Amino acid sequence: MSLWEQTWHVDASFVVHPDMWSHTGISITFGKGFPINISCKQSINTRSSTEAELVAANTAMGPILLMKHFIAEQGYDYKQILHQDNRSAMLLESNGRKSAGKRSRHINIRYFFISDMKEKGQLSIRYCPTDKFVADYMTKPLHGSQFKEFRHQNLSTCTIG
């Protein structure tokens, strides 16, 4: 059996639409190229950039689970890595309600599904610095050298956080 590494980059732009809703960008790679890219307006209104990032990660869980089951049915071992650039969202995803404070207690429990996946060892969450974060091209306009860099990006530049 071969080991497949699915690398997901999930990002959100907070309050970028005229109706004050946020935007989600999702990209997956197996090492080179991005066979799945998703760019969509979020389905709920969020109160902070951290909450927008959490909603974006929750949106990505559908495709993440689909790919997990597809790769497993093909007979391959897999490792799924979720890259994000918001450390507060990563804490909430990793620790669930234990990381919720005064400003995040209102967040719906369905957005803590990610912490369950991490706890079961089915997903790892890593920090990726914003200037190296490929999903940015799905949530905001990029120009010139940054656009070209992301187009040719080698994802090995992201670090474990």
Q: Where are the domains of the chain?
A: 3-157
83 - beta bridge partners?
A: 9, 126
Give CA–CA dist 50/95, Å, rounded. 14
| Cα(25)–Cα(9) distance, integer angstroms | 8
Residues 6+ apart with CB under 8 A from 93: 54, 57, 82, 84, 112, 114, 115, 118, 125
Of 13-27, 32-46, 98-112, 114-128, minimum mean pLDDT range: 98-112
> Which pLDDT score, from 0 to 100, does residue 157 have?
47
Confirm if 92 and 53 have CB atoms less than 8 A apart.
no
Residue 41: pLDDT band by 50, 70, 90 thresholds?
Answer: very high
Quick one: pLDDT at residue 160? 43
Per-residue pLDDT at 101 = 66
- pTM value > 0.85: no
Which residues are bridge partners to 126 per DSSP? 83
Q: What is the pLDDT of residue 159?
A: 47
Confidence of residue 1 (pLDDT cuts 50, 70, 90): very low
Backbone angles phi, psi at 93, to 5 degrees: -70, -35
pLDDT (mean) for 121-149: 79
- Per-residue pLDDT reduced to its tens digit, 69-100: 888 898 888 888 999 998 888 888 887 766 66
CATH of 3-157, one of 3.40.640.10, 3.40.47.10, 3.40.50.150, 3.30.420.10: 3.30.420.10
Cβ atoms 115, 94 nearer than 8 A: yes
Tokens of 71: 């790769």
Contact 125, 92 (CB under 8 A): no
